[in-house]
């Protein structure tokens, strides 16, 4: 199950080399639903795939479903409103918890109580993440009870077309954009990526392939500046959390903040995907390959060596 994660493609284009490195013949399925209304503007991407691109047009299909299946659209909109409200409460709780960690970190401790206070504050951040994950899981479960995508003839028709387009494709390429829309499209059409088909992805596409999608931007002007657990991903790379544009969006020189981020997601490798990154995973459960830059538990940025160790 070959999966290649790339750095952002805007300034350093590596997708052509990645697809050629797969050494496969036949059409390449393109998923660029994260581009939203620009999904149809795929000429440049197709040319980077040596003219072999076959656009699945998932965003266009989502819009068509929402237009034609009013019952499904009503349920989907209700779910989105509940999810947005949940995210608002999560953001409030998360930012307060992270701010508490920072306050404890900078507080003096003449009687040696700081270590216990810091550990408890850090645990509170993880508790907020777990609360949000449980609430989100409940929302999905509730939506499944009231909105059955299997009963929609419109969705069924699109699924049939997608399956036909995927037949014979030698690989799948997943571009960036809006990661939430990408995940919605995959779920709506029950689009599963067969293990035997290689996948190349970058930016939001890379994030979607993991099982935990984390949004982050240390330099944002929004109220919530702490990295947020956004949604469960597709699970093709379950041990990885992908962090695209890391140099532009993370304070990589602040080990305290990076350590907190790493400790929020134990047993995961936080992989930095900057310009020029080219990481090939031979199997879904493989750790980050040699050359990958990861955030260690102590907040340092380390590079995986040829033996799989972080140095």
User: Is the pLDDT higher at 276 or at 195?
Assistant: 276
Extract the tokens encoding 176.
Answer: 């960036």
Q: Can you give the pLDDT at residue 221?
A: 83
Q: Which of 146, 166, 196 is the last residue of a domain?
A: 146
Q: What are the tens digits of pLDDT across the range 112-162?
A: 999 999 999 999 999 999 999 999 999 999 888 877 777 889 999 999 999
252 part of a folded domain: yes
Based on the fold, state whether residues 166 and 211 are members of the same structural domain: yes
Phi, psi of 70 (to 5 degrees): -65, -35
The mean per-residue pLDDT over the stretch 95-114 comes to 95
Beta bridge partners of 228: 215
Domain tally, the chain: 2
Beta bridge partners of 210: 237
Based on the fold, state whether residues 127 and 238 are members of the same structural domain: no
The closest of 235, 201, 278 to 34, measured between CA atoms, is: 201
Q: Can you give the pLDDT at residue 220?
A: 86
Name, in order, each residue with C-beta under 8 angstroms of 18's C-beta and a sequence gap of 6 or more. 4, 6, 200, 278
pLDDT greater than 80 at residue 97: yes
Based on the fold, state whether residues 24 and 43 are members of the same structural domain: yes
Percent of the chain, pLDDT > 70? 99
Name, in order, each residue with C-beta under 8 angstroms of 293's C-beta and a sequence gap of 6 or more. 246, 271, 272, 274, 277, 301, 302, 303, 304
Phi, psi of 147 (to 5 degrees): -125, 105
Q: How many CA atoms lie within 13 A of 111 on its CB side?
A: 2
- Give the model's confidence band at 13: pLDDT under 50 very low, under 70 low, under 90 confident, else very high: very high
Name, in order, each residue with C-beta under 8 angstroms of 29's C-beta and a sequence gap of 6 or more. 54, 56, 165, 166, 169, 171, 172, 173
Based on the fold, state whether residues 140 and 177 are members of the same structural domain: no
Q: Can you give the pLDDT at residue 288?
A: 95
Q: Can you give the pLDDT at residue 5?
A: 98
Q: Can you give the pLDDT at residue 308?
A: 65
Q: Across the chain, what does the average pLDDT equal? A: 94
Could you tell me the pTM of the whole model? 0.93
- Give the model's confidence band at 284: pLDDT under 50 very low, under 70 low, under 90 confident, else very high: confident
100 part of a folded domain: yes
- Give the model's confidence band at 20: pLDDT under 50 very low, under 70 low, under 90 confident, else very high: very high
Based on the fold, state whether residues 22 and 40 are members of the same structural domain: yes
- Give the model's confidence band at 309: pLDDT under 50 very low, under 70 low, under 90 confident, else very high: low
Q: Which of 118, 146, 174 is the last residue of a domain?
A: 146
257: left (phi over 0), alpha (psi -120 to 50) or beta: alpha
Q: Looking at residue 288, what DSSP letter applies?
A: P
257 part of a folded domain: yes
Give the E-state strand segments of the chain in sequence order: 3-6, 28-31, 53-55, 171-174, 199-202, 213-215, 228-231, 240-244, 269-273, 278-281, 293-295, 301-303
171 part of a folded domain: yes
Based on the fold, state whether residues 196 and 289 are members of the same structural domain: yes
pLDDT greater than 80 at residue 281: yes
Based on the fold, state whether residues 119 and 268 are members of the same structural domain: no
Q: Could you tell me the CATH number of the domain that includes residue 55?
A: 3.40.50.880
Extract the tokens encoding 268.
Answer: 């995961």
Based on the fold, state whether residues 26 and 90 are members of the same structural domain: no
The domain of 110 spans 83-146
Q: Looking at residue 289, what DSSP letter applies?
A: P
Based on the fold, state whether residues 99 and 37 are members of the same structural domain: no
Based on the fold, state whether residues 156 and 141 are members of the same structural domain: no
Say which residue the tokens 């810091």 belong to: 118
Q: Which of 121, 146, 171 is the last residue of a domain?
A: 146
Based on the fold, state whether residues 60 and 94 are members of the same structural domain: no
């Amino acid at each position: 199950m070959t999966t290649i994660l790339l750095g952002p493609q805007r300034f350093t284009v590596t997708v052509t080399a990645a697809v050629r490195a797969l050494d496969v013949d036949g059409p390449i399925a393109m998923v660029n639903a994260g581009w939203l209304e620009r999904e149809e503007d795929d000429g440049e991407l197709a040319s980077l795939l040596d003219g072999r691109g076959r656009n699945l047009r998932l965003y266009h299909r989502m819009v068509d479903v929402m237009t034609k299946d009013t019952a499904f659209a009503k349920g989907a909109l209700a779910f989105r409103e509940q999810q947005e409200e949940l995210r608002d409460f999560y953001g409030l709780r998360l930012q307060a918890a992270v701010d508490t960690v920072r306050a404890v970190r900078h507080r003096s401790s003449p009687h040696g109580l700081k270590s216990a206070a810091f550990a408890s504050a850090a645990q509170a951040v993880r508790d907020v993440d777990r609360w949000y994950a449980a609430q989100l899981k409940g929302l999905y479960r509730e939506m499944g009870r009231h909105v059955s995508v299997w009963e929609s003839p419109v969705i069924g028709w699109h699924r049939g077309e997608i399956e036909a387009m995927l037949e014979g494709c030698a690989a799948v390429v997943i571009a960036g954009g809006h990661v939430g829309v990408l995940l919605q499209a995959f779920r709506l059409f029950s689009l599963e990526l067969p293990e035997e088909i290689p996948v190349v992805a970058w930016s939001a596409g890379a994030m979607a392939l993991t099982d935990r999608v984390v949004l982050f931007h240390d330099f944002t002007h929004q109220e919530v500046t702490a990295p947020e657990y956004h949604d469960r991903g597709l699970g093709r790379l379950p041990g990885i959390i992908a962090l695209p544009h890391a140099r532009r969006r993370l304070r990589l020189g602040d080990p305290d903040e990076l350590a907190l981020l790493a400790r929020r997601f134990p047993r995961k490798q936080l992989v930095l995907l900057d310009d020029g990154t080219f990481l090939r995973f031979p199997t879904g459960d493989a750790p980050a390959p040699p050359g990958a830059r990861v955030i260690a538990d102590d907040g340092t940025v380390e590079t995986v060596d040829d033996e799989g160790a972080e140095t």
